[in-house]
Structure 1
């Protein structure tokens, strides 16, 4: 039995984009993976493909009781968790004048409250030397009016990584932040931006990125695998920005 086959990974926002890519990478490497998502079509397919090493729970990340039920499933089947990926998030491009109380609360509930309780509800299950990774964004450190609420929520995620790392470090548990740059995922279609305008913006972003391209889910999942590995055993409280240099230069 390999070391990977004994380890359990919990991933939120696991049905598409970065979350789905991460799930597939860990499964291919032989890990046991528990997925949590509000939609489950892709998860249902994976459950058929990996009946012994994959399970999923449908739920809302902003509801602590849903997360509690998710971790209870893990406890019942696999007892503990070695890696937690708090990936679930939402992004809406809205001018500051267009942000409503409802849209603001939705962004903060999913991106901040969801991340906080994803970690809090896992605490009783985390095995020694566990690794926790919170997915933020380079927008946490940049200014753009249409991303005001989103950027604020992702800045909060960066702050949570520091606080969690300080609290859990003495227990041998590492907590890090992963901040993707502009990455090609299905979330683009949920931005609320006209497709023609969006495509033009993405071309401009690619041109302004030192590596002259957008990120891919493989770029981000590779970085997550690194942060959760023994190769990163002395890294905690950090923010790894995977953005092709867009926010760095």
Structure 2
């Protein structure tokens, strides 16, 4: 059964990793999907791959003009947004003593400010009873080394999920959070650590994970699809942790 049929869904950062896997899942579930990326060439290639139920709009979530244009174009073409997956984010890691102002500011600029204003700018076009899903991370709970700033941004996202759930509930809009554990995506190529350090970090996380493996993007996509659907109609303010049991066991 297609649980998102006739729904209009927006996924920021939808051209790779969890965002792209979620776009595939939403389309399989019947939705019309709009994905964003900062890179037009990559965006065009992924939309061609996804097919005629996908549309790409180039947008940088840290640029307010881009966000205004994004939701203006969506309003003009579709009239509404039924599902918003605020997924765009960055994940450079750094030892605490090596954190610079630029490192700190860039992470909060994208992961918190960008996400915050994505939801705010979407408000006029969000349908009644829409579903908003925020992408956080298990690192907000786990205290892993080298993630001090990244983890703080994801803790802020979790906090926003609670507050926005309360503020948007009069419109019937549900706001929930998904917190992935270690997931096999290209994001790991961008954390700013050497391959040996990344491999060591991943091995450490897997060792702490009862299922003894990293997750797959499609597994997080399934969690997001649940939160987007009417199956989760009594979920708001929740944080679904999909981490193979890392912080739960």
Class of the TM-score when normalised by the shorter of the 2 chains: over 0.9
Q: Structure 1 residues 91-100 or 141-150, which shifts more?
A: 141-150
Alpha-carbon shift at residue 142 of structure 1 (Å): 2.3
Q: Report matched runs for 1:73-222 at 5 Å.
A: 73-222=73-222
RMSD over aligned Cα atoms: 1.6
What TM-score do the two structures reach when normalised by structure 2?
0.95
Does the 8 Å CA contact 1:15/1:40 hold for their aligned counterparts?
A: no
Runs of 5+ unmatched residues, structure 2: none
Aligned mates of 2:226, 2:191 — CA distance in 1: 29
Alpha-carbon shift at residue 170 of structure 1 (Å): 1.4
> In the alignment, which residue of structure 2 is the partner of 1:32?
32
Runs of 5+ unmatched residues, structure 1: none
Does the 8 Å CA contact 2:81/2:130 hold for their aligned counterparts?
A: yes
> In the alignment, which residue of structure 1 is the partner of 2:231?
231
> In the alignment, which residue of structure 1 is the partner of 2:59?
59
Aligned mates of 1:206, 1:3 — CA distance in 2: 33
* Cα distance per residue 1:95-130 (max 9 Å; x no partner): 111111111110000000011011001100111210
Structure 1: which 4+ aligned runs deviate by more than 6 Å? Answer: none
Q: Residues 137 and 49 (structure 1 numbering): CA distance in 2 closer, same or farther, change over 3 Å? A: closer
* Cα distance per residue 1:146-199 (max 9 Å; x no partner): 111101100000011011100011111100010000111001111111112322
Does the 8 Å CA contact 1:15/1:41 hold for their aligned counterparts?
A: no
Does the 8 Å CA contact 2:13/2:87 hold for their aligned counterparts?
A: yes
Alpha-carbon shift at residue 50 of structure 1 (Å): 5.6
For the residue of structure 2 that corresponds to 1:61, the secondary structure is coil
Aligned mates of 1:227, 1:85 — CA distance in 2: 10
Aligned mates of 1:244, 1:130 — CA distance in 2: 29
Aligned mates of 2:170, 2:200 — CA distance in 1: 48
Aligned mates of 1:39, 1:247 — CA distance in 2: 35
Aligned mates of 1:51, 1:189 — CA distance in 2: 27
For the residue of structure 2 that corresponds to 1:213, the secondary structure is coil
For the residue of structure 1 that corresponds to 2:146, the secondary structure is helix
Structure with the larger RCO, 1 or 2 (CA within 8 Å, 6+ apart): 2
Alpha-carbon shift at residue 63 of structure 1 (Å): 1.4
Number of equivalenced pairs: 248
Does the 8 Å CA contact 2:135/2:177 hold for their aligned counterparts?
A: yes
